[in-house]
Amino acid sequence: MNQERLNNVLESMKAEGISQFLVADPMAVYYLTGAMLNCGERMMVLYLCTEKEPQLLIGKLFPQNEEALGIHVTYFEDTDDYVGILAGMMKEEGTVGVDKVWPARFLLPLMGKLPGAKYVNASYIIDLIRQIKTPEEQELMRAASACNDKSMGELIPLVVKGLTEKEVSEELLKIYLKNGAQGHSFEPIIGYGDAAADPHHETDDSKGKYGDAVVLDVGCLKDGYCADMTRTVFIGKASDKAREIYEIVKEANLRGIAAAKPGARFCDVDRAARDYIIEKGYGEYFTHRTGHNIGMEVHEYGDVSFTNENILKPGMCFSVEPGIYVPGVAGVRIEDLVLITEDGCEVLNHYSKDLIEVPVEE
């Protein structure tokens, strides 16, 4: 158990008037304990209480090293009344926090067994703590992004090798493993030509052709932390219209980054990028938010959107990824991760954002 993180959660629980907290999100449990517990359809709960020591309730199929975990573990058989066992650990009254992934098939019976308690969504308690990366986490984010930068340099030449999008993705995995990552942090988006104009295209068996824009939205998982970056390159020569779009997106990316500083709001970053694209006449073709928070998961709590008025604080890490997607013309997205510092932000990606035209081999 990471005692510092646990103490932060318990202090937040006290401040929010939540005396008990049922943590079932595997990533939240991992964040607190260092143990990745995926129990499928079976119940697994880390029980936190401001007045008691934490306990892990888990099926006997998943034996744990209590000494290594640093917490007491209670086991149940599949045939046990495991919700009843949990209820027996808990206080009958007060406010119970429940996280966002705990299934109703467990929550509803618990509410029936402890009707005197008040139940609230408390996921935000851990989510908000995870938003602020510690110095150690910041170093891990830098290392993951450095691996992603290096791998991007090895990936780009492959777009003119006659490979399908799926084959490029498979080659990228090999590159990541060679460069010290443990794999993809998400399924890569590799999009040639028309697919580049689909912001969440699913990588398929298409091949690129001369003049295509190629969106490379990729990220590696390294030492438990995620990288995420997008570059758009061109096979051979880019059209004049594609060049225009590219330069607009690049400037929007830079403006979003410039707006990322402590005391600003997430919506300020979105607006800085979005307003420039609107000014240039492409607002209708920028169809998504400007970014998302990132860390142990590629999409964490928080987003860079025009509706998010939360304040940026040192230690927050998120993407800035404006795009313009014009069907039949070109799709361009440029994405960097930024880390909010005491006086601005640190851009974690250093791979060139200059327009790249990859020469076609004769």
Q: What's the pLDDT score for residue 361?
A: 78
pTM of the model: 0.94
Tell me, what's the pLDDT at 303?
Answer: 98
| 286-321: pLDDT as tens digits | 999 999 999 999 999 999 999 999 999 999 999 999
Distance (Å, rounded) from C-alpha 337 to C-alpha 354? 17
Per-residue pLDDT, 243: 98
Q: 336: which 2 tokens?
A: 């960097």
Assign 225 to helix, strand or coil.
Answer: strand
Domain end among 98, 115, 130: 130
DSSP states of 93-158? SEEEEE-TT--HHHHHHHHHH-TTEEEEE-HHHHHHHHHS--HHHHHHHHHHHHHHHHHHHHHGGG
273 shares its domain with 144: yes
Encode pLDDT of 21-50 as tens digits.
999 999 999 999 999 999 999 999 999 999
User: 296: domain CATH number?
Assistant: 3.90.230.10
Tens of pLDDT, residues 50-88: 999 999 999 999 999 999 999 999 999 999 999 999 999
Shared domain check, 329 and 181? yes
Residues 126 and 149 occupy one common structural domain: no
Provide mean pLDDT across the span 147-171.
Answer: 98
What pLDDT sits at residue 362? 64
Together in a domain, 238 and 331: yes
The span from the CA of 256 to the CA of 248, in Å, is: 12
- 231 & 281 share domain: yes
Give the domain extent around 318: 133-358
Higher pLDDT, 271 or 361: 271
Residues 256 and 316 in one domain: yes
Q: Which of 130, 151, 167 is the last residue of a domain?
A: 130
User: Domain holding 14: CATH number?
Assistant: 3.40.350.10
Among 66, 99, 130, where does a domain finish? 130
Same domain, 170 and 308: yes
Question: In terms of domains, do 152 and 272 share one?
Answer: yes
322 shares its domain with 189 = yes
